[in-house]
Amino acid sequence: MKFPVKTIAVDNFKTDGVAICIFENELAKGPSASINKSLKGHLKRAMKAQSFTGKEGQVLSINTLGLHKAGAIVALGLGKEKYLTTEKIRRAAASGASAMLKAGISNFAVDLASKSLNKITPAILAQAVVEGVYLTSYSFDSLKSEKEKKKIDSVTLLSGKKGDEAKVKNGAKKGMILAGSACFARDLINLPGNVVTPSYMAEQAKKIALKHRMRCSVLGPGAIKRLKMGGLAGVARGSKEPARFIILEWMKGDKSQKPIVVVGKGLTFDTGGISLKPSGDMHEMKSDMSGGAAVLGILQAAAMLKLKVNLVGLVPATENMPGGQATKPGDVLTAMSGVTMEILNTDAEGRLILADGLAYAGRYKPDCVIDIATLTGACMVALGSHASGLFSNNEKLLNQILQSGEETGERLWPMPVWQEHEDDLKSDVADLKNIGPRGGGASTAAAFLKKHVKGKWAHIDIAGTAYSNKMSHYIKKGGVGLGVRLMIDFIEKRAKL
């Protein structure tokens, strides 16, 4: 997919279709006024007939019948200008792309001119448009004999000013990198568990490192045992697939700069182990490595953007299977941190492998550590699929991540980790038990992770947001690729890039 940039008025550009954005009750302003004049009032009549007022989410498609250089016009409602956000632009762009695809148009333009856009710069505007188009155009058909036929080939961004052209190009390039890296993560999530094994994830990490000249280390069972990663080794015991601990290092910042470490849960398939899950929808447990997929996407995006930052990605990767050697309820494992963990439910395994990832992160003496994981059904019950849960031991860090969530459309909601949640995990035979009472499960899981952390830390529970069972805006059914755009925005702000 290409996103060329042209400095030309919408009425002078010949194309199969053009998308224009309209604020609520401002139909007579900007490109809509000149287009309506070209169409001899047809646009205004169509809007009236279909009650199009420019409200957020409204879409109107019309054929210009040869009266305009664009074969079709797609009007997109942005709502009231004072409430405009980049997420609304992203969603509008996705709606426009979907309307074009429905009409069989694979080459079209998006008008970016004549918009003050509530302090949104031309670069950010272009980035949001490209992300919306790119993400909604994603399809996973690599395993199908018949591929998706309707695809977008080219979207021309019509810039309003000569001086804005370079900014729009830079924004478009960044949008392509971020959306492309999110779609890379989507592919990993959507591929089945017999393809995406811990070894496969490690190979993908090696390819990223080789292509972008970053350091990659992959630890196998022997090294995992030597490092006393009892959580990862214990979960892996029930599977014939050997565990992998993946390390990616992008150290392009100042030598004095402490690295940001992101840790992703890489559970490539989760049966629940001896505490076996119900069979219904178990096939979706191929997505339990969504956090790990996000970490690989984050490191890829950081390299492609050439961020001058010190960044480390860690992915403890394994399957959770009920084999003859599998960890049993009542067993006690010792994490790399030295904390002993009583296993009361083998389906609470994500926290066990993350415990070792978080302990390993401490070796870097990091600025902060953020883990991303499909961790608890409890978080899904609390927040549904509308937001990820955010937990932290540092208020400033928490607020920075929240802000990035709002700007990228990957929303989060702050959740507590109180002393009472830590007390709920006290074990009679070990330092911790791996589950607490039924209530507050997302917070007790976060409290479990906190025991293995030194320094500033945040935990993002994406159990309800990593995988979608329906289309919504630019989210397709299947893997969402959540966390890539969120973390890059956060990293840039944290490192003041």
Cite the active site residues.
277, 351
Q: Are 46 and 60 in contact (CB under 8 A)?
A: yes
Whole-angstrom Cα distance, residue 109 to residue 155? 5
Whole-angstrom Cα distance, residue 321 to residue 334? 20
Tell me the C-alpha to C-alpha distance, in Å, between residue 438 and each of 354, 389, 441. 21, 17, 6
The alpha carbon of residue 437 and the mean position of all alpha carbons in its chain are separated, in whole angstroms, by 30
What burial class does residue 342 get, using C-beta atoms within 10 Å of its C-beta: 0-12 exposed, 13-18 middle, 19+ buried? buried
Tell me the C-alpha to C-alpha distance, in Å, between residue 143 and each of 140, 148, 311. 8, 11, 33
Of 491, 312, 358, 480, nearest to 411 (Cα)? 480
Whole-angstrom Cα distance, residue 171 to residue 117? 15
Whole-angstrom Cα distance, residue 3 to residue 5? 7
Helix or strand holding residue 125 (H, E): helix 122-136
**Beta-carbon count within 10 A of 68 CB:** 23
